[in-house]
Amino acid sequence: MHDKNLNEKINKAVQLIKSSDKIVIFTGAGISTNCGIPDFRGENGIYNMVKKKYNLPYPEAVFDISYFEHDPHPFYDLTKELFKSDIQPSLSHKFIAWLEEKGKTINVVTQNIDMLHTKAGSKNVIECHGTYLTAHCLKCGKKFEINSFEDKLKKGEIPLCICSGIIKPDVVFFGEMLPDKFYIAYHNPPEADLVIVMGSSLMVQPAAGFALMLANKINSMIINNEPTVYDKIFDLVVNMDIDEFSSAVWEKLKKNNKF
């Protein structure tokens, strides 16, 4: 899908970013699809894939804590696909990190668990659906760093604690609470002049509510391949490939000496 009035929208995005010192960027699966990571609900997304591959009662069961406790194999097999290749940040991930390098105060709130914002160089990242970087034993509660169980993840094997309990990465499953770090930001949002939503349909709560709350208060833009039901509340709506749009905005900002 290619957006109409593209040049006008690129110019508006440039002006919004130039005039904002403090920016919150909220990202979803769409920012990582160009990295080779499928989204969740698309035609070739993760849920359609696992529905065909595993004998699950429903696709979301692969990320459901109750089902995980019954059968963790689908989750670890799916995780192997994420870890088996050296997935690199997209142009948009790098663009966000560049904005921070150039002196903007950037707070990234991401629904993704792929760790690509950190890999791209962003310093202030809240992973509201958790992370693979740490884990804990479901039986005894012992905590682990990724270097102690990453080899197992790459093989699709179930890592076990010395107590024989399953070591579960601190990825948030359905049925689990989001991290405290997210709720702190939700109830006390960082000071911001602009919120940018990139690659999210804003359908998963409560994370999406954070972005929508800000969009109702400050300047806002949303860049997503497809329209969302919330587009009308944003000051700027762009429906196209996120990397193409980021590239165009980036080029204009680079040429501006007073950025």
CATH code, domain with 230: 3.40.50.1220
Q: Is residue 3 pLDDT above 60, yes or no?
A: no
More confident residue, 83 or 248: 248
What pLDDT does residue 42 have? 60
Own/partner pairs, 116-119, CB within 8 angstroms, 24+ separation: 116/31, 116/32, 116/35, 116/87, 116/88, 116/89, 116/90, 117/27, 117/89, 117/93, 119/88, 119/89, 119/93
Confidence tier at 258 by pLDDT (50, 70, 90): low
Tell me which of 44-48, 116-120, 171-175, 205-209 is least confident: 44-48
Does residue 79 belong to any structural domain of this protein?
yes
Query: What separation in angstroms does the CA of 48 have from each of 19, 41, 69, 156, 211?
Result: 42, 7, 22, 20, 27
Is residue 226 helix, strand or coil? coil
Does residue 41 belong to any structural domain of this protein?
no
Query: How big is the CA angle at 159 (ends 157 and 163), to the nearest 5 degrees?
Result: 145
Residue at which a domain ends, from 171, 194, 223: 171
* Interval 58-82 mean pLDDT: 86
What pLDDT does residue 84 have? 65
Whether residues 76 and 183 fall in one domain:
no
**In terms of residue numbers, what domain contains 195?**
6-35+90-129+178-254
Q: Dihedral of the CA atoms 158, 162, 163, 164 (nearest 10)?
A: 30
CB 204 within 8 A of CB 229: no
How far apart CA 36 and CA 86 sit, in angstroms, is 10
Whether residues 250 and 143 fall in one domain:
no
Q: Is residue 1 pLDDT above 50, yes or no?
A: no
Query: What separation in angstroms does the CA of 259 have from each of 17, 250, 253?
Result: 9, 11, 7
CB 89 within 8 A of CB 120: yes
Whether residues 232 and 125 fall in one domain:
yes
Does residue 40 belong to any structural domain of this protein?
no
Whether residues 75 and 167 fall in one domain:
yes
pTM for the full model? 0.85
What pLDDT does residue 113 have? 86
* Interval 13-18 mean pLDDT: 95
Whether residues 110 and 76 fall in one domain:
no
Whether residues 196 and 242 fall in one domain:
yes
Whether residues 196 and 247 fall in one domain:
yes
What pLDDT does residue 95 have? 97
Whether residues 124 and 65 fall in one domain:
no
CB 230 within 8 A of CB 212: yes
Tell me which of 7-16, 44-53, 74-83, 180-189 is least confident: 44-53
What pLDDT does residue 203 have? 87
Whether residues 72 and 28 fall in one domain:
no
93, 117, 129, 187: the active-site residue: 129
Does residue 232 belong to any structural domain of this protein?
yes
- Told to judge if 129 belongs to the known catalytic residues of this protein, a careful annotator would answer yes
Whether residues 188 and 203 fall in one domain:
yes
214: amino acid identity, one letter: L
Does residue 25 belong to any structural domain of this protein?
yes
Confidence tier at 83 by pLDDT (50, 70, 90): confident
Does residue 1 belong to any structural domain of this protein?
no
CATH of residue 145: 3.30.1600.10
Q: Which is nearest to 124 in space by CA: 185, 206, 180, 169? A: 185
What pLDDT does residue 103 have? 93
Whether residues 237 and 114 fall in one domain:
yes
Q: Is residue 29 pLDDT above 90, yes or no?
A: no
Whether residues 191 and 119 fall in one domain:
yes
Q: How many domains does the chain have?
A: 2
Q: Which two tokens stand for residue 159?
A: 């890592």
